[in-house]
């Protein structure tokens, strides 16, 4: 920056914009400008973009400042800067070719090149650092893990694992299909499924009945857990009492967190269901499951997950007044783009109606399903059910007032 400011041939406006960009870069990296090496700017633009977006900069301003970062790097080269990172692009060419068809996997290669890492120096730790960087840029945990998996699978399926020797092999599918379970375990799990979904079941708590999709999700969790016990731990179990033991469950949770990088909330839900099942399902009567409650309580300490969820919600948040303006804008767009009576026009009107409906009834789908008109005794089928007092349900002031 001293060299730029001391060069008379550089336009005053450009100097001002580069100085402002340097200020934003310093704030983004939480460093003083003189502490920032030029190498740090090479891969900074995605992170700077998220930083500016979180501070509600306009899209044009965000694009402009990211472009000025590129200009800073280019001008640094003109002033004699030489990167300390070697050009390793050529060494990644074969890997880039084999992963280019896998959505997003090339991003990991570009990240490694920006770091100046050769394939033989790229490790699991580097891949984990890419995950953290991608999440900080606004990507979801699920999409980031999917991209990392495609990158790893592409390398090993192409037989290039010797080129990246410090990258561990993909685990692959570890779950086991229910029809592959031994007896009587398979029959016991089918009975549990029926017990959770039947209209009436002995011992089941009020509102403990599951819809088919919820029961299937829980059954999928059991299939994954059994796959871990049989394939990863190498144990043979044939009944549910043996399957759900303390050591295997704690090992599964630690493995899911450390190896598969699952969030606590992803484990919290199925274990909460399991905690309820072992308390009420007659099959488990007399079996001690106090350890499961201890594990369940530890998963409630999920501050990191909560912050990620909060950040994701903030990025999706739109002010209610702006949402109210959306149907009219969609109507004008539909009038301009589509002919009245066409399928596209009808679909646009449908979407407008749904948005108006959801703006009027900002509740859960259960509230909508249970709507009635008039008194319950009259048997009418559309009624605004009372707003629940549960603390987990958001109740904006305007909803309470209306």
Please state, rounded to an integer, the average pLDDT across all residues of the chain. 81
Output the pLDDT for position 180.
87
Same domain, 63 and 131: no
Same domain, 190 and 220: yes
Same domain, 68 and 122: no
Is 100:76 a contact under the CB 8 Å cutoff?
no
Among residues 187, 295, 190, the alpha carbon closest in space to that of 249 is found at: 295
Output the pLDDT for position 315.
64
pLDDT above 80 for 118: yes
Name the residue with higher pLDDT: 344 or 373. 344
> Is the entire prediction scored with pTM above 0.85?
no
Same domain, 65 and 137: no
Output the pLDDT for position 26.
92
34, 54, 78 — which closes off a domain? Answer: 78
pLDDT above 70 for 229: yes
Among residues 260, 258, 189, 263, the alpha carbon closest in space to that of 223 is found at: 189
pLDDT above 60 for 139: yes
Question: Cα–Cα distance between 46 and 69 in angstroms, integer?
Answer: 11
78, 105, 136 — which closes off a domain? Answer: 78
pLDDT above 70 for 314: no
Is 141:260 a contact under the CB 8 Å cutoff?
no
Same domain, 188 and 256: yes
Report residue 392's pLDDT band, with 50, 70 and 90 as the boundaries.
low
Same domain, 67 and 184: no
Is 167:152 a contact under the CB 8 Å cutoff?
yes
Same domain, 202 and 99: no
- Whether residue 85 lies inside any domain: the answer is no
Mean pLDDT of 181-190: 92
CA angle 8, 11, 14 (to 5 degrees): 125
| The total number of structural domains that make up the chain | 5
pLDDT above 80 for 70: yes
- Whether residue 172 lies inside any domain: the answer is no
Output the pLDDT for position 85.
65
- Whether residue 168 lies inside any domain: the answer is no
Same domain, 252 and 198: yes
- Whether residue 162 lies inside any domain: the answer is no
Mean pLDDT of 106-125: 84
- Whether residue 313 lies inside any domain: the answer is no
Burial class (CB in 10 A: 0-12, 13-18, 19+), 60: exposed
- Least confident among 3-12, 95-104, 120-129, 356-365: 356-365
Same domain, 60 and 17: yes
Among residues 163, 68, 89, the alpha carbon closest in space to that of 119 is found at: 163
Mean pLDDT of 173-202: 89
Output the pLDDT for position 384.
45
pLDDT tens per residue across span 11-60? 999 999 999 999 999 998 888 888 888 877 877 887 788 889 888 888 88
pLDDT tens per residue across span 60-69? 899 999 999 9
Among residues 142, 136, 115, the alpha carbon closest in space to that of 126 is found at: 115
- Whether residue 171 lies inside any domain: the answer is no
Same domain, 222 and 295: yes
Mean pLDDT of 292-304: 71
- Whether residue 83 lies inside any domain: the answer is no
Which range of residues forms the domain containing residue 144? Answer: 90-157
25, 54, 78 — which closes off a domain? Answer: 78
Output the pLDDT for position 185.
92
Question: Cα–Cα distance between 78 and 70 in angstroms, integer?
Answer: 13
Output the pLDDT for position 383.
44
Same domain, 129 and 143: yes
Mean pLDDT of 185-199: 92
- Whether residue 384 lies inside any domain: the answer is yes
Sign of the torsion angle spanned by Cα atoms 358, 320, 308, 28? positive
Among residues 183, 271, 172, the alpha carbon closest in space to that of 231 is found at: 172
Question: Cα–Cα distance between 7 and 15 in angstroms, integer?
Answer: 9
Question: Cα–Cα distance between 163 and 121 in angstroms, integer?
Answer: 10
Mean pLDDT of 170-196: 86
Output the pLDDT for position 17.
93
Question: Cα–Cα distance between 272 and 276 in angstroms, integer?
Answer: 6
Same domain, 198 and 267: yes
Question: Cα–Cα distance between 25 and 48 in angstroms, integer?
Answer: 7
């Amino acid at each position: 920056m001293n060299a730029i400011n001391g060069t008379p041939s550089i336009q005053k406006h450009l100097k001002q914009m580069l100085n402002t960009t340097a200020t934003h870069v310093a704030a983004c990296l939480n460093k003083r400008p003189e502490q920032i090496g030029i190498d740090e700017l090479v891969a900074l633009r995605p992170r700077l973009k998220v930083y500016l977006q979180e501070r509600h900069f306009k899209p044009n301003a965000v694009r402009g400042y990211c472009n000025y970062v590129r200009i800073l790097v280019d001008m640094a080269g003109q002033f004699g800067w030489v990167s300390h990172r070697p050009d390793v692009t050529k060494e990644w060419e074969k890997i880039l070719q084999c992963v280019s068809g896998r959505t997003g996997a090339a991003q990991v290669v570009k990240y490694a090149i920006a770091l100046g890492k050769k394939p033989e120096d790229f490790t699991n730790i580097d891949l984990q650092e890419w995950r953290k960087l991608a999440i900080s840029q606004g990507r979801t945990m699920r999409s980031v893990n999917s991209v990392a998996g495609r990158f790893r699978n592409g390398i090993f399926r192409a037989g290039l694992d010797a080129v990246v020797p410090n990258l561990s092999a993909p685990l692959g599918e570890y779950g086991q299909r229910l029809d592959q379970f031994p007896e009587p375990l398979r029959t016991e799990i089918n009975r549990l499924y029926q017990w959770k979904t039947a209209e009436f079941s002995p011992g089941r708590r009020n509102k403990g009945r599951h819809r088919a999709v919820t029961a299937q999700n829980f059954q999928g969790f059991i299939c994954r857990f059994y796959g871990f016990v049989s394939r990863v731990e190498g144990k043979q179990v044939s009944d549910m009492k043996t399957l759900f033991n303390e050591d295997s469950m704690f090992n599964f949770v630690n493995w899911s967190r450390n190896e598969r990088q699952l969030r606590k909330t992803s484990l919290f839900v199925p274990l909460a269901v399991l905690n309820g099942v072992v308390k009420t399902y007659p099959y488990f009567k007399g079996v001690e499951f106090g350890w499961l409650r201890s594990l369940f309580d530890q998963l409630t300490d999920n501050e990191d997950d909560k912050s990620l969820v909060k950040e994701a919600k903030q990025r999706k948040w739109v002010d209610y007044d702006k949402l109210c303006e959306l149907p009219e804008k969609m109507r004008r767009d539909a009038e301009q783009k589509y002919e009245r009576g066409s399928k596209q026009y009808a679909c646009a009107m449908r979407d407008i109606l749904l948005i108006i409906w959801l703006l009027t009834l900002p509740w859960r789908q259960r509230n909508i399903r249970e709507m009635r008109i008039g008194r319950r005794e009259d048997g009418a089928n559309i009624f605004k059910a009372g707003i629940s007092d549960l603390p987990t349900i958001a109740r904006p002031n305007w909803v309470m007032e209306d």
